[in-house]
Amino acid sequence: MRKKYIIILFIFIIGLSLIFIIFNSPKTEALIPVHQCDYCHGMHSTKGPKLQKEIDAENTCLTCHAPGGASSLKAANHIPDMYTCMDCHDPHDNVTNWLGGTNIKLVLDYVIGQDGSLRPVVFESRGTDVGDPTLHSFCDGDEDGNGVWDGVCDTCHVNTGKHNYPDIKSHKHQQGKTCTRCHEHIDGFLK
Amino acid sequence: MGLRIQIKKLVIYFFSLLLLLSFLFKNSLAYSTQENIAVIGHHEHEVLTSPVRIAIGHGNRIYVSDFKKKFVAIIKITKKKLKIIRTISINGNPLGVAVDRKGRIYVGNNSYNRIEVYTPKGKFKYCLEGEIKRPNDIAIASNGLIYVVASDENLVKIYNPDGSFRSSFGGSGKDYGQFNFPTGIAIDENNMEVIVSDFLNKRIQIFDYEGNWLRTIGGGWFSSVVDRPQGIAVDEQGRIYVVDPKQACVLIFSHSGKLITTFGEYGEDEGQLRIPLDIVINKKGDAFVTSYQNSRIEIFEGVVK
């Protein structure tokens, strides 16, 4: 009889330990606290694809990134109804990104360019207007000389009025500067 | 052999209990659709692009801050229709908005971290004292005290009617009375209480007029009925309306904090919400909800019978 109670107690303690581990595991704090799996995904009664709790990922992003949320700076996507948050960002992180690798700000390693091809993105600096590191910022103008225009804005803006890459001379508009100084994310970069 | 079977049984019972418990906790977050909700419809405003905060004033007027268009719209409600009668241009992105008894309009300027005060006709008068980082929402009590949510400071700042700083309460943390990014605020005149959304702590906190903590709604250990609380409103019966953009609905709590019902759902159609951010209730009990991603104000008539 005593043995039975010991076994029950043992199982109870193991159970409690499991609960504690599940809810306090450091692994669940891998990214910023709100970017944990269960913020966007669920196991049961999910509304969207890929076990997403919301019908679209954009709604999940904007719960915090809309005005009034914990981060309001990214409250609009580039050309509404054409691109969504996920076209430029990966909330799952791309591992190297968060751990000091290639891309900061959860920017994708590759985006689909205007010609439909996958184009690499290297975004290591937000750039500056006072001359500090600008390498691999929004618009680096092939600063590393690898022949690839891989700034986060360069990647798509290959054939516009102010950035036309075959003609290097035309690629002088605010080169190395922070594009968002004028084209803010909140306005979808359009102004 | 018998002992092994008993252990197996115990393990099964234990995990069944765990499953049952998790099911119960999950259900506390589920949407409830009550039949007593009358969703009448909405009026789409093409003029608004990014409505955020909303306030109600005298003469059937509501005031809405449009973050991207950088103005505050003064809207008159006539026979279930909304008509913009004036816009006040803001030099920066507006967030919180409130109106006092004299009709003065208080606007939180997110770009310059200050509260600007305008005359009823939209002429700039002065700013409230000092810097207010992320002036997310404003509420004005009947005694004239002005309560401002400074989200980036995790504080609620109290100002005298003349605009001078009086005191503040809150601070960063998870304890009762502390905040992790407060967002919306409302005043319960009948009970002389200040109600604040604690966005990242997933709870609503209730204080007296001097900022002493009274009680909390939500923010449980496992999960909270409130997920990402934004704007708040209180009706004359003391019911608390909380806008939750994550759940795309409005939750209604009794004065004691019991969930009565919810209304609204995710979508682009009439009566549906995408990133709802704030709410006001008029004397008839109609709710006006800003739907940021749908670029409009949604009207829910007589939400609680």
Q: State residue B170 phi and psi, 5-degree precision.
A: 115, -125
pLDDT score of A147 more than 80: no
Mean pLDDT of B96-119: 96
**Among A74, A91, A111, where does a domain finish?**
A74
CB B266 within 8 A of CB B40: no
Question: Do A145 and A84 share a structural domain?
Answer: yes
Instruction: Mark yes or no for CB contact B6/A15 under 8 Å.
Output: no
Residue A142: strand pairing partners: none
Question: What's the domain count of chain A?
Answer: 2
Neighbours of B8 (CB within 10 A): 10
Instruction: Kindly state whether residue A166 falls inside one of the protein's structural domains.
Output: yes
Q: What percent of chain B has pLDDT over 90?
A: 66
What is the per-residue pLDDT for A170? 66
CB B217 within 8 A of CB B170: no
pLDDT score of A25 more than 60: no
Tell me whether residue A165 is exposed, middle or buried, using C-beta atoms within 10 angstroms of its C-beta: 0 to 12, 13 to 18, 19 or more: middle
Q: For B188-225, how does the pLDDT look when each residue is reduced to its tens digit (9 = 90+)?
A: 999 999 999 999 999 999 999 999 999 999 987 666 78
Question: Do A186 and A92 share a structural domain?
Answer: yes
pLDDT score of B271 more than 50: yes
What does the alpha-carbon distance between residue B214 and residue A191 come to, in Å, rounded to a whole number? 46
Question: Do A101 and A147 share a structural domain?
Answer: yes
pLDDT score of B2 more than 70: no
CB B35 within 8 A of CB B70: no
What does the alpha-carbon distance between residue B280 and residue B240 come to, in Å, rounded to a whole number? 11
pLDDT band at B187 (very low <50, low <70, confident <90, very high): very high
Question: Do A149 and A179 share a structural domain?
Answer: yes
DSSP state of A74: T
What does the alpha-carbon distance between residue A150 and residue B226 come to, in Å, rounded to a whole number? 42
Instruction: Mark yes or no for CB contact A8/B95 under 8 Å.
Output: no
Instruction: Mark yes or no for CB contact B275/A59 under 8 Å.
Output: yes
Burial B72-93 (b: 16+ CB within 10 A, else e): bbbbebeeeebeeeebbebebb
Instruction: Kindly state whether residue A87 falls inside one of the protein's structural domains.
Output: yes
Which SS3 state, helix, strand or coil, does residue A78 take?
Answer: coil
Q: Which comes out higher in pLDDT, residue B204 or A169?
A: B204
E-only strand ranges, B219-258? 232-234, 240-244, 249-253
Instruction: Mark yes or no for CB contact B200/A62 under 8 Å.
Output: no
pLDDT band at B251 (very low <50, low <70, confident <90, very high): very high
With tokens 């993105």, the residue in question is A121
Question: Do A108 and A64 share a structural domain?
Answer: no
Q: What angle do CA B84, B299, A65 make, to 5 degrees?
A: 85
- For strands B265-266 and B272-273, give the pairing: parallel
User: Which residue range forms the structural domain that includes residue A165?
Assistant: 76-191
CB B290 within 8 A of CB B62: no
Question: Do A122 and A154 share a structural domain?
Answer: yes
pLDDT score of A178 more than 80: no
pLDDT band at A56 (very low <50, low <70, confident <90, very high): confident
Q: For B75-91, how does the pLDDT look when each residue is reduced to its tens digit (9 = 90+)?
A: 988 776 778 889 999 99
CB B169 within 8 A of CB B156: yes
Question: Do A92 and A44 share a structural domain?
Answer: no
Mean pLDDT of A22-26: 53
Interface test with A, best of B49, B69, B201, B274 (most A CBs within 10 A): B274
Residue B137 in tokens: 């929402």
CB A137 within 8 A of CB A123: yes
Instruction: Kindly state whether residue A17 falls inside one of the protein's structural domains.
Output: no
Q: Please spell the DSSP secondary structure of B24-87, one letter per residue.
A: HHHHTTS--B-TT----EEE--SS-SSEEEEEEETTTEEEEEETTTTEEEEEEEETTEEEEEEE
User: What angle in degrees, to the nearest 10, is found between the helix axes of B2-27 and A2-24?
Assistant: 40
For all residues of chain B together, what is the average pLDDT?
Answer: 87
CB B111 within 8 A of CB A184: no
Question: Do A157 and A85 share a structural domain?
Answer: yes
E-only strand ranges, A64-169? 110-112, 118-120
Nearest chain B residue to A6 by CA distance is B7
pLDDT band at A97 (very low <50, low <70, confident <90, very high): low
Q: What percent of chain A has pLDDT over 90?
A: 0
pLDDT band at B37 (very low <50, low <70, confident <90, very high): very low
For all residues of chain A together, what is the average pLDDT?
Answer: 74
CB B113 within 8 A of CB B92: no
Question: Do A87 and A36 share a structural domain?
Answer: no
**Among A74, A107, A132, where does a domain finish?**
A74
CB A40 within 8 A of CB A92: no
Instruction: Mark yes or no for CB contact B274/A59 under 8 Å.
Output: yes
What is the per-residue pLDDT for B23? 47
CB-based contact, A130 to chain B, within 8 Å: no
Q: Report the residue from A7, A55, A69 with minimal CB separation from B266.
A: A55
What is the per-residue pLDDT for B44? 41
**Among A74, A107, A135, where does a domain finish?**
A74
Whole-complex ipTM: 0.78
What is the per-residue pLDDT for B32? 28
Instruction: Kindly state whether residue A48 falls inside one of the protein's structural domains.
Output: yes
What is the per-residue pLDDT for A1? 67
